[in-house]
Chain A
Amino acid sequence: MDEYQEEETAFAVEEVSKIIKESVESAIGGNAYQHSRVHQWTTTVVEQCLSQLSKLGKPFKYIVTCVIMQKNGAGLQTSSACFWDNTTDGSCAVRWENKSMYCIVSVYGLAI
Chain B
Amino acid sequence: MMQGSNTYLIRPNHQHKFKPAVVKEYIREIVRDRLSGVRYNPEEVPELCRSLADSIKDKVKNAGLDRYKLVVQVVIGEQRGQGVKMSSRCLWDADTDNYAEDVFMNENMFCVAAVFGSYYY
B57 at the interface (CB under 8 A from A): yes
B9 close to chain A: CB less than 8 A: no
**Across the interface, do B72 and A77 meet the contact criterion of CB distance under 8 Å?**
no
Chain A's nearest CB lies how many Å from the CB of B6?
A: 15
Which residues of chain A are near B70, meaning CB under 8 Å? 82-84
Task: Pick from A38, A41, A67, A89 the residue with the most CB of B within 10 Å.
Answer: A67
Select A64's contact among B42, B74, B89, beta carbons within 8 Å: B89
B residues 57-103 in Cβ contact with A at 8 Å: 57, 61, 68-93, 97, 99
Q: Are A61 and B93 in contact (CB under 8 A)?
A: yes
How many B residues, CB 8 Å from partner?
A: 46
* Interface range, A side: 35 or more
Query: Does chain B have a CB within 8 A of A17?
Result: no
Cα distance, A80 to B70, chains bound together (Å): 10
Q: What CA separation (Å) do A79 and B68 show in the bound complex?
A: 20
* B83: chain A residues within 8 A (beta carbon): 33, 35, 38, 69-70
Closest Cβ neighbor of A103 among chain B residues = B85
Which B17-33 residues sit within 8 Å CB-CB of chain A?
Answer: none
Q: Within the complex, what minimum Cβ distance (angstroms) separates B107 from chain A? A: 13
* A68 at the binding interface (Cβ < 8 Å): yes
Q: Which of A39, A74, A82 contacts B85 (CB 8 A)?
A: A39
* Minimal Cβ-Cβ distance residue in A for B84: A69
